Each structure stands twice: as structure tokens, then as C-alpha cells.
Amino acid sequence: MYSSGNPTNIANPIKDASVQVDIKTVSGRLTLYQTTLCEKLPWDKLNADINLEPQGFWDTYNENDIQLICCQADASILWLVPSVVQTRFIQSLDSDTDMDILFTWVFTRDRPKGKEVVKYERPIDPLDLPKRSDVQKVLNGSMNSFRIYNVYPRYLRVTGSGEVRSLEQEEISVNADLVINRANHEWWSFHDANSSDVAGCGGLTGPMAIIISEETPPQGIIGDTLSKFSIWGLYITFVLAVGRFIRLQCSDLRMRIPYENLPSCDRLIAICEDIYAARAEGELGVEEVLYWTLVKIYRSPHMLLEYTKTD
């Protein structure tokens, strides 16, 4: 009916991408950087001279499944946190509680149904976080930037079931500088410290990643089932469940043959009609005799066969 290697799987590229960087302390969580301005560049549209994967790990993937995601360095939202909130947040960095920085990719695809939007959220390892004092200085205005190491893996794989994983063969992480820009308005910037390692983004130095979006089955009942539950889910649903239902319907069929496949039931039907007639006339004694006669016939296979013989 359907094979896991069916060649009818179709490309499912990234349609939209966004990035967010949050900082979290005991006082709560603030969004430092956020942008929805990301370009999605198909692999076959890149310049042939650009080699983003020199070790040849991607030879097994279809070029239609690979994209280069390039985001602008400047955030698409302004930094509008009130000064009193910033002051309290700076004070919370003085405590011994944990400081966390979370990096998030959000990708949107056409399929699978119900899982069009997938998220990759990664907390930065404590050893790769900036110093608390550096974060405080940036927030109070005495510094403009701090660096974060190993923010996210450069190469990501979005599975057909809607999960985001790092590409096993390529454990290359991105380092970044978070910069706050102060002019008439304030906004954050995310500068990829290794942007020179990735050509093809046309001068954009914001978050960039190379994404492999796996193919998915086409729309339809079977395609949607495979996208959500894989080939094993399809097997369990349509083979085991349906097979069990059919088996329950056919089990002990031989035990029902003497009662459901009788040659002629005219005499038994006549006894049943006499029972109803006796009840209607109020002859309850006759009704009881006829009832137990019918029970006695069904309890004896020999009598049942005699009463159901054809004339």
C-alpha cells in the first residue's frame, strides 16, 4: 500500500524563518534580539563557486532539500524596556542565581499538517555565557556589546515529522556578539563572529544557518498519517487495528453455526408467535409452557435439528 522508500515524497522547503535571543534571571525573562527578516536561499540558486560543505557530507541529500538561511543583523523590533525595569534586571544579576541565555530558531513549512511551525530552542551552556558584569555594563550603557560562544550549530536538519536536530556530521557552532545600538531609538544587533566562514549571504552578518528540510509525503489521508506517525503508525493503525476488528468479528464463528445457519425456522417462529398470542390473551400458563419448550429445543442440538428440518 505504501512503502517507507516511496519515491513520491516531495520537497518541503522552509517558507519562513525567525530568530530570537532571550536572557533569563530570577527577575524574569527579557527578549534582547528578535528578527523575522530572514532570506531563504535555495541551494541550487547559490553561486557555484561557493562551497559551504567542503567535506562532502551532503552528497546523500537532494539539493532541493538544502537551504541557506541569512538573517539581518539588526533586530526588527526596538528595545523598549523601561529604565526602571532595566535597573531591577541589572540588580538581579548581582545575585548568585543562574543567568540563562536562550537562542531560538522558528521555521515554517507547508507540511506536515498540524506541525507546520517547528522550533529549535537551545539554552547556552554556562561555560559559554558572557560575564555577568559585561551584561550589566551593556544594559547600564557603559559598554555596547558582549560575546556568546557556541550559540547554535551552523548545520540543522528539520525532519519529516517536524523536529529540528543538529546535523550529526557537522558539529560546527556559531559564536556571536550581541550589540545594543543607541541613537534616537535603541535596538539590538546579532553579529555572527564567524560570518566570514559562510559565503553567499550577500554581506548579511546576522544569524545564518544551513538547513536540510527533509521531504514529506504529499497531502492526503495516507500522507498526513505518515507525516504524523511514520510508517509504523500507519501499520499499527491500518493493519493491527483493522485486523483485530476483523478477527473479533470472525472469532468463535463455528460456535454460532447451529443457531445462525438452520435449514428451516418456520416451526420455531410459530412457537414464538404462539408465545406472543398466549400473552395477549392472558394465558400465562400456556405462555410459560411454550417458553420452556423453546428453551428446551435450543438446549438440545438433536431437538433443534429435528424442529428445523425441511419438509
Is 9 within the bounds of a domain? no
Residue 252 lies in a domain: yes
Task: Kindly list the distances between the CA atom of residue 92 and the CA atoms of 24, 134, 188, 233, in Å, as whole numbers in the listed order.
Answer: 10, 14, 21, 48
Helical pair 284-299 and 266-281, crossing angle rounded to 10 deg: 160
pLDDT-derived band at 58, boundaries 50, 70, 90? low
124 inside domain: yes
Would the pLDDT of 19 be above 70?
Answer: yes
Model pLDDT, residue 62: 80
Domain boundary among 193, 219, 245: 219
Q: Are residues 146 and 24 in the same domain?
A: yes
Q: How many angstroms separate the CA atoms of 55 and 246, rounded?
A: 53
Verify that 278 and 142 share a domain, yes or no: no
Question: DSSP letters of the chain?
Answer: ---TT-TT-B-----EEEEEEEEEETTEEEEEEEE--EEEEEGGGS-TT--S-TT-GGGGS-GGGEEEEEE-SB-SS-----HHHHHHHHHHTTSSS--EEEEEEEEE-S-STT--EEEEEEEPPGGGSPPHHHHHHHHHTS-SEEEESS-SBSEEEE-TTS-EEE-TT---B--EEEEEEESSSEEEEEEETTGGG---STT--S-EEEEEE--BPPSSHHHHHHHHHHHHHHHIIIIIIHHHHHHHHHTTHHHHHHHHS-S--HHHHHHHHHHHHHHHHT-HHHHHHHHHHHHHHHH-HHHHHHHT---
Residue 56: band (very low, low, confident or very high) from pLDDT cuts 50, 70, 90: low
| Residue after which a domain boundary falls, among 190, 219, 248 | 219
Structure confidence at residue 100 (pLDDT): 95
Q: Are residues 230 and 213 in the same domain?
A: no
Number of folded domains that form the chain: 2
Which of 186, 219, 252 marks a domain boundary? 219
- The band of 88, judged by pLDDT with boundaries at 50, 70 and 90, is very high
Residue 75 has pLDDT above 80, yes or no: yes
Residues 168, 292 within the same domain: no
- Tell me, yes or no, whether 151 and 181 share the same domain: yes
State residue 290's pLDDT score: 93
CA–CA separation, 217 and 10 (whole Å): 6
Considering the domain architecture, whether residues 66 and 185 belong to the same structural domain is answered as yes
**65 shares its domain with 204:** yes
Answer yes or no: is 198 within a domain: yes
Domain check: are 250 and 170 in the same one?
no
**Residue 10 counted as domain residue:** no
pLDDT tens digits, 108-155: 998 887 888 999 999 999 999 999 999 999 999 999 999 999 999 988
Q: In terms of domains, do 293 and 199 share one?
A: no
Residue 4 counted as domain residue:
no
- 228 and 202 in a common domain: no
* Domain extent for 228: 223-307
Q: Which residue has the higher pLDDT, 216 or 90?
A: 90
Domain co-membership, 145 together with 37: yes
Strand pairing category for 155-158 and 208-213: parallel
Same domain, 56 and 204: yes
Checking phi first, is residue 44 left (phi over 0); if not, alpha (psi -120 to 50) or beta? Answer: alpha
What CA–CA distances, in Å, run from 59 to 6, 65, 66, 108?
20, 12, 11, 25
5 in a structural domain: no
> Does residue 49 form part of some domain?
yes
